[in-house]
Amino acid sequence: MTLSPEQIDHYREKGCVVVPRFFAAEARQMIDHYMQRRAEGPKPGDSGGTTDQPGDPNHQVPRMINMHNWDEPTQEWATRPDLVTAVDQLLGDQAVLIQTMLYFKPPGARGQALHQDQQYITIDPLIGVWVSLEKSDRSVGQMVVVPGSHQHGLLEVEAADTAVSFTNAQSLIPEGLEEVGLDMEAGDVLFFAGKTIHGSYANTTADRWRRTFICHYVSAHAEKFTPPQGRHVSHVKATP
Ligand SMILES: O=C(O)CCC(=O)C(=O)O
C-alpha cells in the first residue's frame, strides 16, 4: 500500500493524516504481545511520568521505549515495508527509525500535555507514527492534534499541569488554531509531523485501556538543530 496524493497533500497542509485500518491485522496480537512483555518486569527506559502523582496508574504500567533494541517483533512492526514506504513518501526521503514506544494508558491514567515532538527530539525532519491498538475515543484520552500548527515553527513551552499530564511541559498554541480529538479504531494509524502539536487528556473510564504503538522516523538526510531558548522541554522548570 502507498499513500495517495490526497493523503500526502492532507499531511502537508494539516501536519497529520489518519490512514484507517493500516495495522488492523496485527493490533490484537500486538496488545497481547506487549502485555506479556510488560508482565515480565522492568525494561530499560520505562516511564510512568512525573513522580508527583504516585496514584497515577501509569506508574503501575509504565510506558515502554525503544523496544526495537531488545524485542524482535517490535523491530518487524516498526520496519514493515509498507509503513516505511508511507513514511518515505511523507518525508520525500528515506526514513530511518529512531524511536519506538508503547503507551498502555490504563483506566484512570493521566494523559500527555500538548507538545511538538521536536521540543524533545531536536532533529529535522521528524515524523511520528501513532498506531491505535484498540478503540480510542474521548473518554479514554484519545490522541488530540492541532491541525496547521506544524507551519508555526518551534513554539514556546510552558509548565503543564501534572495533575492531568504525565509530562511537565506544554506548547503555547498559536492564536486561531484549535485542537481536534481523533476518534480511531483498532489498527488506524496517524502520521504526524515533528512540529504538529499533539497530546492527550486523561483516561476517564473505569475499565478501558488505550494502548498505542508509536514510532518516530527521521529522514536519511535529517540534521540536528539547537532549539532557541524557551522552546525545548529542558527549558521548563523541572517537576520531580
Ligand atoms: O498517545 C499519547 O497520549 C500522546 C503521544 C505523544 O505525544 C507522542 O507520540 O509523541
Amino acid at 80: R
- Asked whether residue 187 is domain-assigned, the answer is yes
| Residue span of the structural domain in which 223 resides | 5-235
The Cα–Cα gap between 6 and 65 comes to: 32
Cα 166 to chain centroid distance, Å, stands at 13
Indicate the pairing of strand 95-103 with strand 212-224.
antiparallel
Residue 18: CATH number of its domain: 2.60.120.620
**The predicted structure's pLDDT at residue 238:** 60
**The predicted structure's pLDDT at residue 108:** 98
Residue 175, C-alpha cell as written in the block: 492564536
Tell me, using a 6 A CB cutoff, whether residue 125 lines ligand 1: no
Task: Report the number of distinct structural domains present in the chain.
Answer: 1
Amino acid at 172: L
Ligand 1 site-directed mutation target among 121, 212, 216, 217, most atoms within 8 Å of CB: 212
Tell me, using a 6 A CB cutoff, whether residue 111 lines ligand 1: yes
- Asked whether residue 240 is domain-assigned, the answer is no
The DSSP 8-state label assigned to residue 73 in this structure reads H
CA of 151 to the centre of ligand 1 (A): 19
- Asked whether residue 102 is domain-assigned, the answer is yes
The Cα–Cα gap between 88 and 125 comes to: 11
DSSP, collapsed to helix, strand or coil, labels residue 30 as: helix
**The predicted structure's pLDDT at residue 235:** 85
User: Do residues 169 and 115 make contact, with C-beta atoms less than 8 angstroms apart?
Assistant: yes
The DSSP 8-state label assigned to residue 61 in this structure reads S
Tell me, using a 6 A CB cutoff, whether residue 145 lines ligand 1: no
Nearest partner of 200 among 152, 149, 134, 130, judged by Cα: 130
Q: How many CB atoms lie within 10 A of CB 89?
A: 18
Q: What are the start-end ranges of the E strands in 73-164?
A: 95-103, 123-132, 143-145, 157-159
User: Do residues 50 and 239 make contact, with C-beta atoms less than 8 angstroms apart?
Assistant: yes
Tell me, using a 6 A CB cutoff, whether residue 199 lines ligand 1: yes
- Ranges in the chain, pLDDT < 70: 238-240
Tell me, using a 6 A CB cutoff, whether residue 91 lines ligand 1: no
Tell me, using a 6 A CB cutoff, whether residue 200 lines ligand 1: yes
- Asked whether residue 213 is domain-assigned, the answer is yes
**The predicted structure's pLDDT at residue 229:** 87
Tell me, using a 6 A CB cutoff, whether residue 117 lines ligand 1: yes
Ligand 1 site-directed mutation target among 182, 214, 215, 216, most atoms within 8 Å of CB: 214
